[in-house]
Amino acid sequence: MLNIEDWANCDIEKNGDISLKNSNNEITLSIEVKYHNSPTELKNNIEELWKTIHNFYNDSDKFTKSTKLELYTVSTISKGNNLLNWNNLNTNEKLQLLKDSSLRNKNEIYLGIKKFYNVIFQDENKLKSILSKFTIHSDQEYYEEFKEQIKKTSLFRIFNTNFKKDSALESLIAVVLSAFKNVDTWTISKEEFDSKLTEIAHLSHKLIVRVNDDADIEINEEMFRDSKFVNKLKDIEQDDYTIDNAIDDYAKTVYEVEERMNLLSSLDYNRKLESYENDLIREFRTKKGDIELNTNIVIKQSKQFYRQIQSLEKIPFIGKSFNDKTTFFQRGYYHILANDDSNKKKIIHWHLEK
């Protein structure tokens, strides 16, 4: 869930230990998780493997052709183990491996797996459908190591100290544990999950403060002289001083957008950035529409309009996630929009006749 973006709902203890569903309520991924307190080898004739396949087999009618079935286990697979290459085998090879490994001798099935064998081999076509989707991920981290891995995911970059990361992770675990207080299964939507993470981030981090010094970068103005946004300023005969300031705002804002993405992680960043852009465009069009154009002084009016937009009151960047104390960001973002005419709904021209 922390590294996968494309899901709508997550079921826990319903269809496998964890399953992700798309917006059509189809299972795209079903995961079985196996944890052992002591080191264990995953072998082809022990219950862990067979029970997992058995569970998926019993739920086969819930899966689509594109569903992925995965076993995550702390068990190891050693060099000589014939499961080592499992994920590279084709369906028939996986089936044959199961058949061969099920026999204690020519006619006797291993006692520990017999009950699973008798079920899954009732319908080989159904079994093959399961095996074609099924992969093994062995040697997974133990709890403390796993915690450290989670803290390295992109979602946890918003927390700038290890203490805050630990607190956020504990809060997430508490959310899951509290959900199972009186029930055996649980479903959470991606919207709810993202909302909960954002809430945790706000509680832990409050506001992310950004100031001018955060974007203290060297800028080579000559690199931008022929840029689209600069040409649009030349259209209204802006002087070099104004253009240099615009280039400075533009370059810092391009850098700052990337920095803010890293700070806020991937929690619907693109969607919220789109909303911010729409707010800027709406304000731009409103102000432009209010002007009664006089063709005799259109350049003068265009310059006045440009100054008016550049001195607008700040529009909040991505809701309440940031305390934006920069003086350049909103001005610079208008130049980012002016530099890109690919989206007809967001084209910016300072010249009032365009």
Using one digit for the tens of pLDDT, what is the confidence trace for 271-327?
Answer: 678 888 888 999 999 888 888 777 789 899 999 999 999 988 888 876 556 677 788
- Token pair, residue 184, equals 């055996």
- Do 248 and 195 reside in the same domain of the chain? no
Spatial contact of 89 and 135, defined as CB atoms under 8 Å apart: no
Evaluate if residue 261 carries a pLDDT over 80: no
Choosing from 204, 233, 260, the residue where a domain stops is 204
- Token pair, residue 198, equals 């954002």
- Do 110 and 230 reside in the same domain of the chain? no
Domain holding 57, by residue range, is 9-204
Evaluate if residue 209 carries a pLDDT over 70: no
- Do 184 and 322 reside in the same domain of the chain? no
User: What local confidence, expressed as pLDDT, does residue 299 receive?
Assistant: 92
What is the average pLDDT value for the chain, to the nearest integer? 83
User: What local confidence, expressed as pLDDT, does residue 263 receive?
Assistant: 62
- Do 160 and 27 reside in the same domain of the chain? yes
323, β-bridge pairs? 209
- Do 315 and 235 reside in the same domain of the chain? yes
Evaluate if residue 178 carries a pLDDT over 90: no
Taking residues 59-85, report their average pLDDT.
Answer: 93
User: What local confidence, expressed as pLDDT, does residue 230 receive?
Assistant: 92
| Crossing angle of helices 162-179 and 190-205, rounded to 10° | 140
Report pTM: 0.55
Taking residues 164-192, report their average pLDDT.
Answer: 76
Nearest-angstrom CA–CA distance, 285 and 312: 13
Confidence of residue 131 (pLDDT cuts 50, 70, 90): very high
Distance, CA of 233 to chain centre:
37
- Do 25 and 167 reside in the same domain of the chain? yes
Confidence of residue 169 (pLDDT cuts 50, 70, 90): confident
Share of the chain above pLDDT 70, in %: 86
Evaluate if residue 265 carries a pLDDT over 90: no
- Do 185 and 300 reside in the same domain of the chain? no
Q: What are phi and psi of 330, to 5 degrees?
A: -65, -40
- Do 94 and 34 reside in the same domain of the chain? yes
Choosing from 165, 187, 204, the residue where a domain stops is 204
- Do 186 and 239 reside in the same domain of the chain? no
Per-residue CA distances from 329 to 62, 149, 233, 323 (Å): 49, 34, 18, 12
Spatial contact of 100 and 153, defined as CB atoms under 8 Å apart: no
Confidence of residue 211 (pLDDT cuts 50, 70, 90): low
Choosing from 144, 176, 204, the residue where a domain stops is 204
Spatial contact of 326 and 208, defined as CB atoms under 8 Å apart: no
Nearest-angstrom CA–CA distance, 29 and 8: 12
Does 43 fall in a domain?
Answer: yes
Q: How many domains does the chain have?
A: 2
Closest CA to 76 of 48, 101, 96: 48
Evaluate if residue 55 carries a pLDDT over 70: yes
User: What local confidence, expressed as pLDDT, does residue 58 receive?
Assistant: 95
User: What local confidence, expressed as pLDDT, does residue 138 receive?
Assistant: 93
Tell which wins on pLDDT, 175 or 115. 115
- Do 34 and 171 reside in the same domain of the chain? yes
User: What local confidence, expressed as pLDDT, does residue 49 receive?
Assistant: 93
Closest CA to 332 of 318, 314, 320: 314
Tell which wins on pLDDT, 101 or 200. 101
User: What local confidence, expressed as pLDDT, does residue 142 receive?
Assistant: 73
User: What local confidence, expressed as pLDDT, does residue 98 receive?
Assistant: 92
Evaluate if residue 268 carries a pLDDT over 60: no
